[in-house]
Amino acid sequence: MSHNIKILPGATVCEDCTLEGDITIGGGTVIHPRVTIIAEGGPIIIAEYCIIEEYSTIIHKKSDQQENPPKPLFIGAHNVFEVGCKLESPCGHIGESNVFECRSYVGVDVKIGSGCVVGAACHLTAPQTLVDNTVIWGSEHHIREALEKQPSQLLQLDFLSKVMPNYHRLRKPNVHKRQSSTRQSQEPSPKP
């Protein structure tokens, strides 16, 4: 597996995490230690200002009908992956401002729009599409639609990017050219 990890300037990526495959991490994103991101089925692109907390796992799964070249898994801006959450996806697109709460699990055939919240310990395995601003919570998987998107965690991001370097070894940003970030800014809105 080729290890091609691009970290854009402004991103805070701890050294103590497993990154495998072709991964691009956008500026302003904070990746905590012990995070696992595996791009086995194709590249993973994480946009700006995401928070990926400890023990969360993002896997771009290999699928049988693999296209060539493989489609990337694009994760929009301002997403929050809380402690221990797991996201498995063969390809596709995850919108912005989603929150994946602690120990939540999002299975292969789940499409996620923008502003969605997957509640703590909610396991989404059945094929489904979460429209924008869907909130799922509780063991019974109650669903409701929020009025507006989840507020972004800019303060928290700010704090984390200041504090993290004091306590963790960080991976250095290795991309200084702007071209890949301009590519991301062209497609910030989720596609249905």
Partner 1 sequence: MALYEGIALIQEKQAVVLDLGTDYTKFGFTGEAAPRCIVRSEFWCAATRRYRRVHDYQTADELYDNLVHMLHLLYFRHVLVNPKERKVVVVESLLTPTLFRETLAKVLFTHYEVSGVVWADSPRLCALTLGTPVALIVSIGAKEAEVAAVVHSCVVLHAMESQPLGAHAIHAELRRLLDEDNDATLDLPDLVIEDIKVKTCFVGSRSRAQQWEAARAARDVQFACGERGRLRVSGATRERAAEVLFARDNELASLPDIVLQCIMRCPIDARRALAENVLVTGGTASLPGLRARLAQELRHLVTRPPYASRLHVREFKFHGAPAQDSAAAWLGGALLGAGEAGAARATPRDVYARARRLRDWRERLMADFSTVPEWDHMAAVLTCYVAYNNR
Partner 2 sequence: MAYLTQPDYVKYICSCGQLKPITSLYFCRHCLKIRCGFCICHEVDSHYCANCLENMPSSEARLKKNRCSSCFDCPSCFHTLSTRATMAQPRQTPQDPAGGDTKVESKQPKKMYYLSCFNCRWTSRDVGIPDQPVASGGWPERTNPFAARVNQLLDYYKAIALQEKQEKIERERKKFTIRGKYITLTDKTGLTGAMARNIAGLPSSDSSCSAIANFVPSQASAEVEELPEDYYTKEVNLNQITSMPQRLASPEWQPVSVSRLHPLAKLLSVKRSQRCRVCDHNLTKPEYNPGSIKFKIELLAYYHVPEVKIISHEPVKAGEKTALLLKLTNPTGHEMQIKLLQPEDLPPPEEKEEPKSIEKSLEKSLNLEKDTSSYKAIEREPQYSVTSRVTSPPTALTLAQRDDAAEYDDDAQHDTTE
Closest CA to 112 of 79, 67, 139: 79
Range 149-168, binding partner 2 (CB under 8 A) = 150
DSSP 53: -
Judged by CB under 8 A, which of 14, 117, 122, 124 binds partner 2?
A: 117
Contacts 24+ apart (CB under 8 A), 113-122: 113/190, 113/192, 114/76, 114/149, 114/189, 114/190, 115/146, 115/148, 115/149, 115/150, 117/146, 117/150, 118/85, 120/82
Minimum CB separation of residue 140 from partner 1 in Å reads: 5
145 binds, among partner 1, partner 2, none (CB under 5 to 8 A by kind): partner 2
Residue recorded with tokens 């089925």: 41
Nearer to partner 1 by C-beta: 129 or 180?
Answer: 129
Cα separation, 184 vs 186, whole angstroms: 5
Cα separation, 52 vs 31, whole angstroms: 5
Minimum CB separation of residue 120 from partner 2 in Å reads: 8
Residues of this chain that bind partner 1 (CB under 8 A)? 123, 125-128, 139-141, 143
139 binds, among partner 2, partner 1, none (CB under 5 to 8 A by kind): partner 1
Binding of partner 2 at residue 85 (CB under 8 A)?
A: no
Binding of partner 2 at residue 123 (CB under 8 A)?
A: no
Phi, psi of 51 (to 5 degrees): -120, 125
Cα separation, 120 vs 73, whole angstroms: 23
137 binds, among partner 2, partner 1, none (CB under 5 to 8 A by kind): partner 2
Nearer to partner 1 by C-beta: 121 or 175?
Answer: 121
Question: What does the binding site for partner 2 look like in residue numbers (CB under 8 A)?
Answer: 117, 119, 135, 137-138, 142-148, 150
